[in-house]
Protein backbone atom coordinates (compact mmCIF):
# COMPACT_ATOMS: atom_id res chain seq x y z
CA UNK A 1 0.00 0.00 0.00
CA UNK A 2 1.15 3.55 -0.65
CA UNK A 3 1.66 4.57 2.98
CA UNK A 4 3.26 1.31 4.09
CA UNK A 5 0.17 -0.07 5.78
CA UNK A 6 -2.22 -2.70 4.54
CA UNK A 7 -4.97 -1.21 6.71
CA UNK A 8 -7.51 1.45 5.81
CA UNK A 9 -6.23 4.76 7.18
CA UNK A 10 -8.31 7.48 8.78
CA UNK A 11 -7.16 10.88 7.51
CA UNK A 12 -6.15 13.32 10.22
CA UNK A 13 -6.15 17.06 9.53
CA UNK A 14 -2.35 17.12 9.78
CA UNK A 15 -2.13 14.62 6.89
CA UNK A 16 -4.83 16.41 4.91
CA UNK A 17 -2.83 19.64 5.11
CA UNK A 18 0.26 17.92 3.66
CA UNK A 19 -1.37 15.93 0.86
CA UNK A 20 -0.12 18.19 -1.95
CA UNK A 21 3.50 18.26 -0.79
CA UNK A 22 6.17 16.73 -2.99
CA UNK A 23 6.81 13.23 -1.71
CA UNK A 24 3.24 12.90 -0.39
CA UNK A 25 1.02 13.67 -3.39
CA UNK A 26 1.78 10.52 -5.41
CA UNK A 27 1.20 8.25 -2.40
CA UNK A 28 -1.97 10.18 -1.50
CA UNK A 29 -3.39 9.70 -4.99
CA UNK A 30 -2.41 6.01 -5.00
CA UNK A 31 -4.07 5.53 -1.59
CA UNK A 32 -7.24 7.16 -2.90
CA UNK A 33 -7.23 4.84 -5.92
CA UNK A 34 -6.68 1.84 -3.64
CA UNK A 35 -9.57 3.01 -1.43
CA UNK A 36 -7.20 3.04 1.55
CA UNK A 37 -8.17 6.49 2.87
CA UNK A 38 -11.04 6.82 5.33
CA UNK A 39 -12.96 9.84 6.59
CA UNK A 40 -13.94 10.49 10.19
CA UNK A 41 -16.58 13.15 10.95
CA UNK A 42 -14.40 14.67 13.68
CA UNK A 43 -11.52 15.27 11.25
CA UNK A 44 -13.91 16.30 8.46
CA UNK A 45 -15.42 18.99 10.69
CA UNK A 46 -11.97 20.29 11.55
CA UNK A 47 -10.96 20.38 7.86
CA UNK A 48 -14.27 21.87 6.69
CA UNK A 49 -13.96 24.68 9.24
CA UNK A 50 -10.91 25.94 7.32
CA UNK A 51 -12.57 26.08 3.90
CA UNK A 52 -12.48 29.42 2.10
CA UNK A 53 -16.04 29.51 0.78
CA UNK A 54 -19.24 27.53 0.30
CA UNK A 55 -18.07 25.98 -2.98
CA UNK A 56 -14.92 24.59 -1.37
CA UNK A 57 -16.96 23.40 1.64
CA UNK A 58 -19.39 21.56 -0.67
CA UNK A 59 -16.58 19.99 -2.71
CA UNK A 60 -14.69 18.76 0.35
CA UNK A 61 -17.88 17.51 2.01
CA UNK A 62 -18.76 15.54 -1.12
CA UNK A 63 -15.24 14.09 -1.22
CA UNK A 64 -15.37 12.99 2.42
CA UNK A 65 -18.79 11.40 1.87
CA UNK A 66 -17.36 9.31 -0.99
CA UNK A 67 -14.74 7.74 1.29
CA UNK A 68 -15.22 4.84 3.66
CA UNK A 69 -16.24 6.15 7.07
CA UNK A 70 -15.05 5.79 10.66
CA UNK A 71 -17.93 7.37 12.58
CA UNK A 72 -17.57 8.53 16.16
CA UNK A 73 -19.81 6.14 18.08
CA UNK A 74 -20.70 6.10 21.76
CA UNK A 75 -18.22 3.25 22.18
CA UNK A 76 -15.48 5.31 20.50
CA UNK A 77 -16.24 8.19 22.88
CA UNK A 78 -15.88 5.83 25.85
CA UNK A 79 -12.60 4.50 24.44
CA UNK A 80 -11.34 8.08 24.01
CA UNK A 81 -12.16 8.82 27.66
CA UNK A 82 -10.42 5.63 28.71
CA UNK A 83 -7.33 6.62 26.72
CA UNK A 84 -7.28 10.03 28.42
CA UNK A 85 -7.49 8.30 31.81
CA UNK A 86 -4.69 5.89 30.86
CA UNK A 87 -2.40 8.62 29.51
CA UNK A 88 -2.70 10.65 32.71
CA UNK A 89 -0.36 13.63 32.74
CA UNK A 90 0.56 13.01 29.09
CA UNK A 91 -3.05 13.56 28.00
CA UNK A 92 -2.80 17.19 26.84
CA UNK A 93 -4.00 16.20 23.42
CA UNK A 94 -6.82 17.91 21.48
CA UNK A 95 -10.17 16.20 22.03
CA UNK A 96 -10.66 15.76 18.29
CA UNK A 97 -7.46 13.67 18.12
CA UNK A 98 -8.78 11.32 20.82
CA UNK A 99 -12.02 10.90 18.86
CA UNK A 100 -10.28 10.29 15.52
CA UNK A 101 -7.95 7.74 17.13
CA UNK A 102 -10.76 5.95 18.96
CA UNK A 103 -12.96 5.82 15.85
CA UNK A 104 -10.07 4.30 13.89
CA UNK A 105 -9.22 1.81 16.63
CA UNK A 106 -12.83 0.68 16.95
CA UNK A 107 -12.80 -0.48 13.32
CA UNK A 108 -9.26 -1.85 13.27
CA UNK A 109 -8.09 1.02 11.04
CA UNK A 110 -4.88 3.02 11.25
CA UNK A 111 -4.51 6.81 11.34
CA UNK A 112 -2.57 8.73 8.70
CA UNK A 113 -1.08 11.84 10.31
CA UNK A 114 1.82 14.24 10.74
CA UNK A 115 1.13 14.82 14.44
CA UNK A 116 3.06 13.25 17.33
CA UNK A 117 -0.15 12.98 19.38
CA UNK A 118 -1.24 9.95 17.37
CA UNK A 119 1.94 8.05 18.19
CA UNK A 120 1.08 8.46 21.89
CA UNK A 121 -2.62 7.70 21.36
CA UNK A 122 -1.67 4.48 19.56
CA UNK A 123 -0.05 3.21 22.77
CA UNK A 124 -3.35 3.61 24.63
CA UNK A 125 -5.82 2.64 21.91
CA UNK A 126 -3.93 0.00 19.94
CA UNK A 127 -4.29 1.30 16.38
CA UNK A 128 -1.59 1.59 13.71
CA UNK A 129 -0.05 5.07 13.67
CA UNK A 130 1.16 5.93 10.15
CA UNK A 131 3.21 9.10 10.17
CA UNK A 132 3.90 11.28 7.13
CA UNK A 133 7.57 12.24 7.27
Task: Spell out the per-residue pLDDT of the chain, length 133, in tens.
Answer: 788 888 999 999 999 999 999 999 999 999 999 999 999 999 999 999 999 999 999 999 999 999 999 999 999 999 999 999 999 988 789 999 999 999 999 999 999 999 999 999 999 999 999 999 7
> Which pTM does this prediction carry?
0.95
Q: Go through the domains of the chain in sequence order and give each one's CATH number.
A: 9-125 (3.40.50.1010)
Q: How far apart are CA 2 and CA 50, in angstroms?
A: 27
Element (H or E) spanning 45, and its range?
Answer: helix 41-48
- The rounded distance, in Å, linking the Cα atoms of 64 and 91 is 28
Radius of gyration of the chain (CA): 14
Amino acid sequence: MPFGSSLPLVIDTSAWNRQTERGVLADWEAALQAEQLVSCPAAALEILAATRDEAEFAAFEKGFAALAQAPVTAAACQAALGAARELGARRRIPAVDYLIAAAAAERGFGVLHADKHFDLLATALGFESVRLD
